[in-house]
Structure 1
């Protein structure tokens, strides 16, 4: 018995038992938590006011409202640029789109696309063992060398560009667009010929997303769902057609909310809910000249294709149970540029080797209200024109020609109303805290603010250039060009 052992033998036995205990303790310790999954919704032309939690009327978005109640809703969240391709390039690379050479909305057969040398969120997560899938609208180059499978995604199903770039475009000058095909991987598939075909976009994309979750539930995954709607032409499936009191737009919004609900429900059914970061946002504001077929900018000035808040400020909801505070509203300046560095940090991935413009917002996302990740933002548009700069709540708009919807009667029944692209906007300083509608120029009262913002603008011009001043930037990179 232990009590009769000599002292040194007793000590040896005790040390041996202690070592075995420590070994067993290490062996039975809890397994290391698996990396979180990431689901990123990127909705096309969704305005700030198009969710019922942001004030939408005539329909409700209960799944998104629930997501906001279970996560954090961001009220000063900006798309990096107020137009399709540029905004998507920024989201996936963490760069101002003009830094990577992407401008405007790339048309069918465009000889340029996102340069394969740029690193996307999908590529960074793929290095960490993530399965990567995109189901929806790509719009970063329709030539095969620019498609998602060449940009870090394992799976792709959707449309290569906006689904109004088809033979039924309401502007007959553009009716020579080629047929619009869904793409499966790298291969063109079914043609989207009619609005009835378009009405199946949301359901079919949703079903593919659900299948991706089921197929990859045992490994970490990055699921990117860039829904093509509510970009015109609007189309809702028979299940939702006529269900809202806000016309076809309301029906489309109800169906998009259903899609989010289906994906959230699938995550829960597969036991992935608590280990999945879900981000919901939009590529730019509403296309207002489409009238009742356009969404709402929520009271902000102008809409898609402008450097005013109605073009840039978009809904953003982020949910991750137990990590992102529930029922919280955050009013700090943030942008889609932040998504890449934030996701990379959360998932343990490296950052791109080349310069990016996004900043890590993990501390703020987790509830640290003292964190202020973004200090300022540059509003670029057209080819490479610096049209405004913001620091905190101050926004300096530079004199520039641009689109305006004001003073024009909007269209009806899916037909666009007139706009102008050459309205001359004057220099103006706005205090967005007191004047979010950008109506009152307060330059004369705040010369020191103007000077500080001009200094920031000069830094942007040196770095990225400015067509308005015929300046070339030192640190812009080439767009991808067709090599075949």
Structure 2
């Protein structure tokens, strides 16, 4: 979605921060937002108040990138205003026509310090061309090499301000999203080029949060979760040596494909939880757990009550999170831009359609009727379609997927 998209979440709808705020928690969002701002696409007043946004859906404080690092506007928004904006140099944003006289990655490619490979060739900010066009607001422009320190610093500041009361921090680091432009102290520290360096820089940001919790004596009573919004992507629009220096590394492990894909490499993501005294250190769980369940699980942990219409697909998964339930969910609905699949036990069923496939090179794969059925326990790479050999299992999972979609909810059915 573009950087001038409207807010995707309707104000008034129950969210993790709104539920926790009702339970007395301080709430903050720091980092990559990419959920839209304002009520209408392209109608934002970047020089005035930006609403609705994070503060209208449950957060008390936010310091965010409006979209992603590769999309304009390349500024931070603190609460409802662009941070450090000079009124004498107003900010303009366009996802249509370029601004006359402003350099782009096409017209001024020689100015780039990181070249584009595909698509990312519109306005140049900090020597990097982005998606979309912007003009002005120069005092507010971020510096990519300082982004990790800036965002980690804001996250730690919120923890320090909130140390004497319950708090919820949603910290969405930019790393390892493109463009991958690490701070000088991280540049060259890995053998994998900027992508590997960005992974090391991500680790630094996680460490900054953990160090703050330790320093403030909060670690014992704080649940920390490190997870991702999708599987890995290697080449994602810039010439950053991500493919050339990948070596033998398999970013998705044994799983098929990566980001944008319905296959496990795209939908099965890391999930690491730390809660001293509640979650046994070093333990590994095979329980089925969906990020959708975080809302109901956090609400239960905080003593907040969900109304019948709240978070209709979120289940209380405390037992799985705490290692008390080895099985977890009976099913998980997985989603990609091209369609849906369902996981149930060892089985995974994918609806017929055309899907993104492959890693590091992305291709298109066609799944014909009656769909694809995989035993992901024995075949984590989803190499053998068993729909013909197990037609009953395929039909049952397809019917269950359609039933859930038609019901519009899975909690309290």
Normalising to structure 1: TM-score of the pair? Answer: 0.65
Write the distance in 1 (CA, Å) between the matches of 2:262 and 2:307. Answer: 28
Partner residue of 2:284 out of 307, 314, 329 = 329
Cα 1:284–1:190 shift into 2, 3 Å: farther
Deviations 1:130-165 (A, max 9, x none): 111111011111223331111111111120111111
Asked if residue 140 in structure 1 is aligned to residue 35 in structure 2, the reply is: yes
Note the C-alpha offset of 1:319: 0.8
Q: Is the 8 A contact 2:18 2:58 kept in 1?
A: yes
Higher helix proportion: 1
Aligned to 2:14: 119
Note the C-alpha offset of 1:352: 4.8
Asked if residue 346 in structure 1 is aligned to residue 301 in structure 2, the reply is: yes
Partner residue of 1:150 out of 50, 56, 63 = 56
Q: Is the 8 A contact 2:351 2:398 kept in 1?
A: no
Where 1:211 maps in the other structure, the secondary structure is: helix
Write the distance in 1 (CA, Å) between the matches of 2:214 and 2:376. Answer: 39
Q: Would you say how many aligned residue pairs link Structure 1 and Structure 2?
A: 336
Write the distance in 2 (CA, Å) between the matches of 1:146 and 1:164. Answer: 23
Aligned to 2:79: 185
Q: Which runs of 5+ in 1 are unaligned?
A: 1-105, 167-178, 411-418, 465-472, 476-484
Q: Is the 8 A contact 2:349 2:397 kept in 1?
A: yes
Aligned to 1:397: 350
Q: Which runs of 5+ in 2 are unaligned?
A: 39-49, 86-123, 129-141, 244-249
Aligned to 1:357: 313
Normalising to structure 2: TM-score of the pair? Answer: 0.76
Deviations 1:405-426 (A, max 9, x none): 36xx84xxxxxxxx55x64233
Write the distance in 1 (CA, Å) between the matches of 2:262 and 2:15. Answer: 25
Write the distance in 2 (CA, Å) between the matches of 1:112 and 1:322. Answer: 38
Partner residue of 1:221 out of 153, 167, 185 = 167
Write the distance in 1 (CA, Å) between the matches of 2:321 and 2:269. Answer: 17
Note the C-alpha offset of 1:305: 1.0
Where 1:451 maps in the other structure, the secondary structure is: helix
Aligned to 1:7: none
Q: Is the 8 A contact 2:7 2:53 kept in 1?
A: no
Deviations 1:15-60 (A, max 9, x none): xxxxxxxxxxxxxxxxxxxxxxxxxxxxxxxxxxxxxxxxxxxxxx
Asked if residue 366 in structure 1 is aligned to residue 308 in structure 2, the reply is: no
Note the C-alpha offset of 1:281: 0.2
Write the distance in 1 (CA, Å) between the matches of 2:208 and 2:372. Answer: 45
Q: Is the 8 A contact 1:142 1:161 kept in 2?
A: no
Higher relative contact order (CA 8 A, sep 6+): 1
Where 1:113 maps in the other structure, the secondary structure is: coil
Write the distance in 2 (CA, Å) between the matches of 1:201 and 1:125. Answer: 28
Aligned to 2:71: 165
